[in-house]
Amino acid sequence: MNNTGRLKSSSSELDLDRPNIEDYLPSGSTIQQEPHGKLSLHDLLNISPTLSEAAGAIVDDSFTRCFKSNPPEPWNWNLYLFPLWCFGVVIRYLILFPIRVIGLTLGWIIFLSSFIPVHFLLKGHDKLRRSIERSLVEMMCSFFVASWTGVVKYHGPRPSRRPKQVFVANHTSMIDFIVLEQMTAFAVIMQKHPGWVGLLQSTILESLGCIWFNRAEAKDREIVAKKLRDHVQGADNNPLLIFPEGTCVNNHYTVMFKKGAFELGCTVCPVAIKYNKIFVDAFWNSRKQSFTMHLLQLMTSWAVVCDVWYLEPQNLKPGETPIEFAERVRDIISLRAGLKKVPWDGYLKYSRPSPKHRERKQQSFAELVLRRLEEK
């Protein structure tokens, strides 16, 4: 009886997520109820290609949940809370935001007036130059975090520079790098971006030993893999930071980790990042929002609150493949940050069909099922 109850409960839970075919039928159409046993295996085989299409649409719906920002529940639309909300908007936009802009501008002035002379005048003193540049980048990242009134709590020992180790973290936004960088100057592997972010990548961050790639270039994979192997061998290089998901996920889920960071033959140090969405959602949806607008959203919020856990270093076990190693590390990060694991490749985000195309396929499937049922 207990098993039967559990099965019924599971079935009802699945029904909540199951799409209703009638939602995609032409107006006025309904599915006629047929006597039990009328639908044969032959009928199902006849529509199997469309069943595959429909399954793909359902799977895609599950996949897109990883990349959707969840707006907060409205709380201000009543007579006594709305004035308080308006007062908060005035405080955030007319008082806090200008102060934050001034602070960030001051930070850039201090940083550039120090970084440029150090970078060009200490060319022959590489060790001293790299040390000063690391400190300056950490300082600038601290100014960025302060511009969001960032409340970041770090757990665990601070990362150190050692050969043959790489740090891997879940990825929610480009600010993940800033949050981690203010504590330790990492060399990060990152997608090459256009605009002012790309300018920073090719100038300031280049001095940290960061590695850039372009998803559209297949040749970049081999070049990047070689740079990674060379970087982790250097004792004086900055710690290497990799976001193995390869794309920003909404901090509710973790998608599959790419195996590149786990086949370098070195120690992997997991880092778990969890944002508290009480004041703002830190997820960056690059398809809908530029990084500049994302920063403005953070700077006009009350605060960015997050926890960072530096977890126990992991090594490849005997007989373990890099893919299994990656999954084991993902388990550790997901468990610590309270994230749900999903079996999707994050790169599908850049190649999945448009919503209109999915809706057309779903409607086509529903119409074909209706025709098959009416023929009986």
**Cα→Cα distances 328→63, 86, 170, 250, Å:** 21, 47, 14, 21
Domain presence at residue 178: yes
Are the C-beta atoms of 19 and 54 separated by less than 8 Å? no
Q: Residue 253 pairs with which residues in a beta bridge? A: 340
Domain presence at residue 168: yes
Domain presence at residue 238: yes
Domain presence at residue 69: no
> Taking the CB of residue 165, how many other CB atoms lie within 10 A of it?
18
* Mean pLDDT on 38-58: 55
Q: Alpha helices, DSSP H only, in 122-238?
A: 126-147, 175-181, 195-202, 220-233
Residue 217 confidence (pLDDT): 61
Given a cut of 50, whether residue 19 has pLDDT beyond it is no
Given a cut of 80, whether residue 97 has pLDDT beyond it is yes
Are the C-beta atoms of 175 and 152 separated by less than 8 Å? no
Domain presence at residue 60: no
Buried-state track 312-346, b at ≥16 Cβ within 10 A, e below 16: eebebeeeeebeebbbbbbebbbebbebeebebeb
Ramachandran bin of 5, using left for φ above 0, alpha for ψ from -120 to 50, beta for the remaining angles: alpha
- How many residues are recorded in the chain? 376
Please name the amino acid found at residue 54: A
> Taking the CB of residue 45, how many other CB atoms lie within 10 A of it?
10
Given a cut of 60, whether residue 159 has pLDDT beyond it is yes
Q: Count of domains in the chain? A: 1
* Mean pLDDT on 114-134: 87
pLDDT interval class at 83 (50, 70, 90): confident
Residue 228 confidence (pLDDT): 82
Closest CA to 148 of 251, 249, 284, 333: 284
Given a cut of 80, whether residue 36 has pLDDT beyond it is no
Distance separating alpha carbons of residues 165 and 267, to the nearest angstrom: 5
* Mean pLDDT on 22-41: 49
Domain presence at residue 98: no
Q: What is the CA radius of gyration of the chain?
A: 25
Residue 286 confidence (pLDDT): 82
Given a cut of 50, whether residue 74 has pLDDT beyond it is yes
325 vs 349, residue with greater confidence: 325
Q: What is the average pLDDT score of the chain?
A: 80
Closest CA to 175 of 72, 334, 281, 69: 281
* Mean pLDDT on 269-276: 96
pLDDT interval class at 39 (50, 70, 90): low
Domain presence at residue 112: no
Lowest mean pLDDT among 63-67, 306-310, 329-333, 345-349: 345-349
Distance separating alpha carbons of residues 235 and 232, to the nearest angstrom: 8
Residue 158 confidence (pLDDT): 87
Which of 164-168, 206-210, 358-362 is most confident? 164-168
* Mean pLDDT on 84-105: 94
Q: Which two tokens stand for residue 264?
A: 């370098």
Instruction: At 105, give phi and psi (nearest 5°).
Output: -65, -45
Closest CA to 31 of 366, 265, 346, 316: 366
Residue 12 confidence (pLDDT): 40
pLDDT in tens, 213-224: 776 665 667 777
Domain presence at residue 82: no
Instruction: At 46, give phi and psi (nearest 5°).
Output: -65, -30
Instruction: At 211, give phi and psi (nearest 5°).
Output: -120, 130
Please name the amino acid found at residue 277: K
pLDDT in tens, 166-205: 999 999 999 999 999 999 889 888 777 777 777 787 778 8
Question: In terms of C-beta density within 10 A (0-12 exposed, 13-18 middle, 19 or more buried), how is residue 375 classed?
Answer: exposed
Residue 77 confidence (pLDDT): 73
pLDDT interval class at 358 (50, 70, 90): low
pLDDT in tens, 284-341: 988 888 889 999 999 999 999 999 999 999 999 999 999 999 999 999 999 999 999 9
Domain around 300: 150-350
Output the pTM of the full model: 0.75
